[in-house]
Amino acid sequence: MARAIATTEIRGYGNGFIQAKKGQTVRITDVEGHQVADVWAVNTADHDEYMSPATTRMLTGRMFPGIDDVFLTTRDRPILTFIKDTSPGRHDMLFASCCRALYARRGHKAHPNCRDNYFEAIAGAGIDHANIPDPVNIFQNTPPQADGSFLYGVAMSRAGDHVEFRAEMNCIVVVTACSSELINAGQSTPLRLETFKAKAPRKKA
């Protein structure tokens, strides 16, 4: 097994980031199972360019990401490519990140949330965003139903399940461990974020 270049351990209800060079592999692992990862990617050289789920949906013609899908930025450029998935394959590109206001409506005051976690993570990465971009929600099980409503299902990922992306530009990948108990089997649990060396191209026979 290849050794990671860098590893960021993300606690439940927490956040983290990692630097990825073009061509490197970024891996996100659900450590204990049933945990959603909110994921963002920001151009290292220009923080005003970042991964856009809306632009990506327009390119792929799909609501949800799958293997070989290319994630585009706000400037229509590739930033990540989805290259591996050991989970059941249920992910989301429709939901915004959870926030204080959402939990307040549910009667929870000062609940941990991915919006606050995003801003905490990017401060450590030297990124200054006034607003939070929409995330790609890895392992999130919230498919739309025939009547247009969403099914709020528990994440189907198992302990050790992981996804991998190839970085298509130098980027900062930010991840939060989703704080919603509703879709994370009752509590938020750890995630692992890693980068691996760029894979050498296969030689032609």
pLDDT at 24: 98
The dihedral built from the CA positions of residue 69, 60, 168 and 90, taken in this order, carries a sign that is: negative
Pairing status of strand 25-30 against strand 162-167: antiparallel
Burial class (CB in 10 A: 0-12, 13-18, 19+), 89: middle
pLDDT at 199: 76
pLDDT at 1: 61
- Residues 122 and 174 sit within 8 Å (Cβ to Cβ): yes
The one-digit pLDDT tens for each residue of the chain (205 residues) are 689 999 999 999 999 999 999 999 999 999 999 999 999 999 999 999 999 999 999 999 999 999 999 999 999 999 999 999 999 999 999 999 999 999 999 999 889 999 999 999 999 999 999 999 999 999 999 999 999 999 999 999 999 999 999 999 999 999 999 999 999 999 999 999 999 998 766 556 5
Q: How far apart are CA 50 and CA 44, in angstroms?
A: 9
Question: In Å, how far are 64, 88, 186 from 143, measured between CA atoms?
Answer: 9, 14, 19
pLDDT at 198: 86
pLDDT at 2: 87
Of 121, 139, 119, 135, which is closest to residue 188 (Cα–Cα)?
139
pLDDT at 205: 54
Query: Phi and psi for 88 in degrees, rounded to 5?
Result: -65, -10
